[in-house]
Amino acid sequence: MRLPYRRLVVKIGSNVLTQDNGLPDLARMEQLVNQIAGLKAQGLEVIVVSSGAVAAGRSLITLPTKADAVRSRQLLAAVGQVKLLSTYAELFGRHGLLCAQVLVTKEDFRDRQHYLNMRNCFQELLQRAVIPIVNENDVVSVTELMFTDNDELAGLIAAQLDADALVILTNVDGIFDGDPRLPSSRLIPEIAPTATGFANFVTAQRSQFGRGGMLTKCHMAHKVAKLGISVHVANGKTADILPAVLTQKAPHTWFQPSKTASGKKKWLANSQDSAKAEVRLNAGARAALTAAGKARSLLPVGVVAVVGTFRKGDIIRLSDESGHLLGLGIAEYGSEKALERLGLQNQRPLVHYDYLFLIPTSA
């Protein structure tokens, strides 16, 4: 029986699309396109987050061994993105399907209006049965503008588009309780929203061609699942892996989703860099906000300090008295009023629970 998904984000990692010599694996790319076309024929909306631009660029141009690493990546991405998209366009065209290129940076997710404009573009593409092919704009993404990797980008896209599920295709069968190369390690088939302690058993080693590792993948998947989106981590090199995951026939790891979060909370979950100021809470407020099964607003009586200034509608960081981040919220009024009401009872909430996102504990 196929899982009841309507909208699916498929992230294809560098190690899936790249051969051992660092050049593109066109045969595997064709296989995955065939699978995605099959899902489209079944009525699914599919958004593809694809790595591979740098590998495609490497197949077209040779750089000196001592070339600057950042500039080399920009050059390879600029040249390779054209080839990557033209290859996708040709492969999808064989199935009578159109695809579209969407290049983004982290900055594109920080402004609420820009975020909504980008979502509207995706919605229009999907309504016209066009398959968005999303990638980080490596030509301009350097240092603080960079995503951790395309897993982070895929999680942002899944949350932005209210996807039912995110499928992350990597070069192993899923999350293991140790190094997947060791015979003693076992695949973890399901991870609950309340799971913690990933760092105790998941290796932090990075993949050969990608920027991220399995530990960062695990934390991102857990965060996305907490927003109400199923996340499946599977081996993209396995034949017919996408239909096998959706019919629950392939070995992989499933991050079980929590109750679906609102669109505002999904945006907040990824807006830490947009916060204007910080509000520090006492132990009582922390306990009230994090109590299981209870949705509570942040009241001024639980606030002990306001660091920085903010206006009504701004995003603010919420932390405990030692500065440890607890969550993010949208302020119901400015910092001036917040300071006037500091520690007072019977006051309007500073952050309503509808506009409050608590950071999941997964370390």
Q: 3-state DSSP call for residue 69?
A: helix
The pLDDT assigned to 275 comes to: 83
The pLDDT assigned to 227 comes to: 85
Quick check: 218 pLDDT over 80? Answer: yes
Residue ranges of the annotated binding site for substrate are 51, 138, 150
Is the Cβ–Cβ distance between 131 and 99 less than 8 Å?
A: yes
The pLDDT assigned to 109 comes to: 78
Quick check: 211 pLDDT over 60? Answer: no
The Cα 307–Cα 319 span in angstroms is: 10
Sequential DSSP letters for 288-344: HHH-TT---PBPGGGEEEEES---TT-EEEEEETT--EEEEEE-SS-HHHHHHTTT-
User: Residues 287-310, buried b or exposed e (16+ Cβ, 10 A)?
Assistant: ebbeeeeeebbbbbbbbeebeeeb
Q: Tell me the Ramachandran region of residue 346: left when phi exceeds 0, alpha when psi lies from -120 to 50, beta otherwise.
A: left
- Strand extents, DSSP E, 72-214: 99-104, 131-136, 165-170, 190-191
Q: What's the mean pLDDT in 306-313?
A: 91
The pLDDT assigned to 21 comes to: 83
Q: 3-state DSSP call for residue 271?
A: coil
Quick check: 363 pLDDT over 50? Answer: no
Quick check: 170 pLDDT over 90? Answer: yes
The residue ranking higher by pLDDT, 54 or 342, is 342
The Cα 262–Cα 162 span in angstroms is: 9
Q: What is the pLDDT of residues 61-70, one digit of tens each?
A: 888 877 777 7
The residue ranking higher by pLDDT, 165 or 226, is 165
Q: What's the mean pLDDT in 329-344?
A: 93
- pTM for this structure? 0.77
What six digits make up the tokens of 307?
A: 């660091």
CATH architecture of 7-261: 3-Layer(aba) Sandwich (3.40)
DSSP-derived letter for residue 24 is B
Quick check: 308 pLDDT over 80? Answer: yes
Domain boundaries in the chain?
7-261, 275-358
Q: Do 7-261 and 275-358 share a fold?
A: no
Average predicted confidence (pLDDT) for the chain = 86
Sign of the CA dihedral 242, 247, 249, 253? positive
The pLDDT assigned to 269 comes to: 74
Residue ranges of the annotated binding site are 11, 51, 138, 150
Determine the number of helices (DSSP H) and then strands (DSSP E) in the chain. Answer: 11, 13
Q: What is the pLDDT of residues 129-144, one digit of tens each?
A: 999 999 887 666 555 5
The Cα 311–Cα 125 span in angstroms is: 35
Q: What is the pLDDT of residues 86-100, one digit of tens each?
A: 999 999 999 999 999
Residue ranges of the annotated binding site for ATP are 11
**pLDDT band, very low/low/confident/very high, at 72 (cuts 50, 70, 90):** confident
Percentage of the chain modeled with pLDDT above 90: 47
Sheet containing 303-307: give its strands across.
Answer: 303-307, 277-281, 315-320, 325-330, 356-358
The CATH H-level superfamily of 275-358 is: PUA domain (2.30.130.10)
The pLDDT assigned to 242 comes to: 98
> Cα 39–136–29 angle (5° rounding)?
40
Percentage of the chain modeled with pLDDT above 70: 88
Is the Cβ–Cβ distance between 33 and 91 less than 8 Å?
A: yes
The pLDDT assigned to 210 comes to: 46
Sequential DSSP letters for 192-222: -TT---GGGTS--PBPSSSS-BHHHHHHHHH
The pLDDT assigned to 200 comes to: 64
What six digits make up the tokens of 80?
A: 């390779």
Closest by CA to 274, choosing from 112, 149, 103, is 112
Least confident of 23-27, 165-169, 200-204, 303-307: 200-204
Quick check: 248 pLDDT over 90? Answer: yes
